[in-house]
Amino acid sequence: MRGPSSRALAARLHRGEHVARAQQRLSHLIRDLLTEGARIGDIRDDIAPGELAIFCLHALAAASSLPSKAAVRRLVAVTLAGLRPLRASGR
């Protein structure tokens, strides 16, 4: 008799409350880093850090469905570019 498939095990693991807590902790960690970055002027401050954290997590979660390492690098570059502070034109 064979055991559950790795896909079934992964699905079971990801349903747990511990995963939800870990995701929340990660979101809070990123939010806090973005808050500090905005405070010192390295991260845009026109969007709430909690919202930016959600954007980042969802964008980077998409990396698992990309076809190549080059595509993942582009996704990370685009995500990081979106975090940069807005500059007045002509500066």
d(CA 76, CA 24) in angstroms, rounded, equals 21
Give the mean pLDDT of 76-90.
83
Around Cβ 30, how many Cβ atoms within 10 Å? 19
Mean pLDDT score of the chain, rounded to an integer? 87
pLDDT band per the 50, 70, 90 thresholds, residue 36:
very high
Which residues lie below 8 Å from residue 26, measured CB to CB, with a gap of 6+?
A: 57
What's this model's pTM, rounded to 2 decimal places? 0.72
- Residue 67: pLDDT band (50, 70, 90) is very high
Using an 8 Å Cβ cutoff, are 62 and 76 in contact? no
For residue 42, pLDDT over 90 is answered with yes
The radius of gyration computed from the CA coordinates of the chain, to the nearest angstrom, equals 17
Q: Quick one: pLDDT band at residue 7, thresholds 50, 70, 90?
A: confident
Q: Is the pLDDT of residue 12 over 80?
A: no
CB of 36 within 8 A of CB of 30?
Answer: no
